[in-house]
Structure 1
Amino acid sequence: MSTTTNEIIEKLKSITLLEAAELVSQIEETFGVDASASVGANFVQATGDSGATGQETIEEKTSFDVILEDVASDKRVAVLKVIRNLTSLGLKEAKEFTTSLPKAVKESISKEEAETAKQQLEEAGATVKIQ
């Protein structure tokens, strides 16, 4: 390795995870590239530094649950229709589903699918959260 490369490597060994994340963001912007989350984890493993400052690598959540918290009584029919569209429940099962809330309408789904389901339920009159 050249002297410049060795100097860069030594400097990288001394920065914190927060500084490394900022560096990755700047590299992405400058060179128009996209660094995946696994690259960051490999960097930590390769340097043998799991956060000398007490910071831990946080993995981005990839599966989400859509939790139905409450249904306005005047919006119950509209919410039941959305629940039936989102699930394979019949009318009777959908009604029973809403009797003891909060409950998960959809589990272990993508963030986009969870956001769509939440939007549909909220437009129908339900109170929803994503976990």
Structure 2
Amino acid sequence: MVLRILTVIDKVQDLSLLEATELVKALENLFNVDASIGGGVMMMNPDQNTSEDKNPVEKQTEFNVSLDQVPPEKKISILKVVRSITELGLKEAKEVVENTPQIIKEGLNIDTAEETKKLLESAGAIVTLV
């Protein structure tokens, strides 16, 4: 073992029971763990804040709808949906449908993006939200 660890072990052996209890509590607070759980294995205490809680990841609020694949037999029905969703003309919508994958709507909230995805999927398209 490393010399530092042996030194710590020697010092811990000299502690009274009360001092050892205080040491355990201090280590639990320092490392956000609970030493009483799991038969001697220190485990994270779910009630205590972790570093991830202090720096929460921002949730995505805007979504893009990507038209990934258009089966040839569903092309016309998907073209109609793309035209209604994007308000593109026939020629432009046809280009979108024929040149997949392609983002067809950008910056939508989750509800609108899901609704758009369902419309396209019901017509037979393969769609993802990004």
TM-score by length of 2: 0.60
Q: Deviations over 1:37-96 (max 9, x none)?
A: xxxxxxxxxxxx982x79741111100001000011111010001001101201110011
Distance 1:102 1:19, change over 3 A: farther
Equivalent residues of 1:50, 1:56 under 8 A apart = no
Q: How many residue pairs were aligned?
A: 90
Tell me what 2:95 maps to: 96
Q: RMSD over aligned Cα, in angstroms? A: 2.8
Gaps of 5+ in 1: 1-10, 21-48
Correspondence 1:1-131 to 2 at 5 A? 19=47, 51=51, 56-131=55-130
Q: Which has the greater radius of gyration?
A: 2
| Aligned partners of 1:50 and 1:57 also within 8 Å | no
Given the superposition, is the C-alpha separation of residues 55 and 82 from structure 1 closer, same or farther in structure 2, using an over 3 Å criterion? same
Where structure 2 has 5 or more consecutive residues not aligned to the other structure, the ranges are 1-28, 34-43
Say if 1:114 and 1:130, in contact at 8 Å, map to a contact too: yes
Structure 1 runs of 4+ with >4 Å offset: none
TM-score (norm 1): 0.60
Amino acid of the residue matched to residue 56 of structure 2?
T
Find the residue that maps to 2:74 and give its secondary structure.
helix
**Seq. identity, %:** 36
Work out the CA distance in 1 between the residues paired with 2:66 and 2:47: 36
